[in-house]
Chains A and B, each alone.
Chain A
């Protein structure tokens, strides 16, 4: 990529007490991408985010935002960042508008028009004059997003943004996120442990465990998957034994089988041929399903489903 990265983490290490929370973590984020930041609880996601936004200082290594070191020139570096760190904790005793005004005063150049624009973007026009204590969690989440977008950041960091939201709220939030990512053209870093959600939202994922980057994956869009050569295909057939003997003749590797079905790894182009063979041998086929590996499978594969240490 020839684009200048928005964020660069260079061998970041964080030691608290005598425990290494983050160990030599390095990655780069580029403009216009939505990146998922995955890891089991306690892997160091929040610590990493706190270091990027300057709430914590790294023990070693440096973090550059638009080429500016967060530790050296905090004011300048952080002016490119909008963030929600964990839950959007706002001043409950003030109205939504006063909350936004509060944050707008802390940055140069946020006009009243901009505040109104952001309120409209997150769809809070009708409730903005009411106190935040009367807001639902979903509305607080939206107000949190609004405060993060006020100063047109080039990097938006959302730490566990859907924590505590119901399914409808999660979906709504996801739609809003995609919309603002497109409309405001920002780089978004979303941390979460909800995998399916990350899968739906992001272009790329970073997986960390015990403070180390252990996986990085471009999320494949459906059309790409369809062209991928080897696939796992599940067949529901009767009788299974007969079908398996046919497979063995064709030297197809069997992955799994039970009373009613079997799974094989097979090239896409060979599926019709196999089906024809099975039908010719009088095997009844009830269903043929392609199993796409979900991010969850991959996540567990990569992290080994290990517990926190």
Chain B
């Protein structure tokens, strides 16, 4: 276990030694501030009854950014070792491949988790700064927490998908391209496939989880949150096993 933590520490060191990471984090903060700047400040705005909750509920653009950044890391963190050849020196240590594989994955998940938590903390902070007399109803907290949790699950699923493609293909661009495409178009694909009954068993039609945050669970009789989570869960296990089996048995010849 200590070794596993040291591996995560290593991955973290490599992540933060790269300039691209700082550029991406800069982008993340820019988006958060942009979102704050776009908040409705006029409290007498007739279209918005409660500007504070409106601000909170409309603030899901940064979540797209967090998921995107996580996908970029998930696609690159292993593929980069292969394209630079460093994987040869990485895998000849007294550490099993399984540990190296999941240390990298864990770091990307932690990255997404930290960015998400930081985002919600900052959003609430700015919310209270902007609307000094606002108070948060318990219902509002529930919706916010639910949205946060569900969007994190979306990120987690996308990370797993991107990581699997990257590990199996050693190809960063392919992993990034396919994952981003599915992530950005999943609602459109789901819409086109909605007349087909089998489509609800495809993971990308169930990917949009945040829509369940404001409803009471069911969108339609068959499409409940529980059902969506089951479908995604099955795919998740499939992806994890595929990633693990491929990586631990493959010859490294790059």
Contact = CB atoms under 8 A, between A and B. Distances in A.
Interface residues of B, number: 25
Interface stretch (A87-95, A186-194, A207-215, A256-264): A87-95
B57 interface: no
Contacts of A103: 89, 93
B18 A93 contact: yes
Interface stretch (A74-82, A225-233, A282-290): A74-82
Contacts of B86: 89-91
Contact of A56 (B3, B13, B252): B252
B9 interface: yes
A38 interface: no
A106 interface: yes
Interface in A76-117: 76, 78-79, 81, 83-94, 98, 101-103, 105-108
Interface stretch (A47-55, A176-184, A301-309): A47-55
B241 to A, nearest CB: 20
B168 to A, nearest CB: 18
B253 interface: yes
A91 B93 contact: no
Contacts of A55: 88, 91-92, 251-253
A8 interface: no
A76 B14 contact: no
A87 B85 contact: yes
B253 A102 contact: no
Interface in B64-92: 84-86, 88-89, 91-92
Contact of B89 (A16, A76, A88, A107): A88
A91 B15 CA distance: 11
A98 B6 contact: no
A106 B3 CA distance: 7
Contacts of B14: 91, 93-94, 102
Interface in A214-264: none
Contacts of B17: 91, 93-94, 98
A98 B13 CA distance: 8
B95 interface: yes
A57 B251 contact: yes
Contacts of B6: 105-106
Contacts of B88: 55, 85-86, 89
A106 B84 CA distance: 19
A205 interface: no
B89 A93 contact: no
Contact of A106 (B13, B85, B95, B253): B95
Given A56-B251, A56-B253, A90-B86, 13 more contacts: A50-B252, A50-B253, A54-B91, A55-B253, A74-B96, A78-B93, A83-B92, A84-B89, A85-B88, A94-B13, A102-B10, A106-B7, A108-B3
Interface of B: 3, 6-7, 9-10, 13-14, 17-19, 84-86, 88-89, 91-96, 249, 251-253
30 contacts: A50-B251, A50-B252, A55-B251, A55-B252, A57-B249, A74-B96, A75-B94, A75-B95, A78-B93, A79-B94, A81-B92, A83-B89, A86-B88, A87-B85, A89-B89, A91-B86, A93-B18, A94-B13, A98-B13, A98-B17, A102-B14, A105-B6, A106-B6, A106-B7, A106-B94, A107-B93, A108-B3, A108-B94, A144-B89, A147-B89
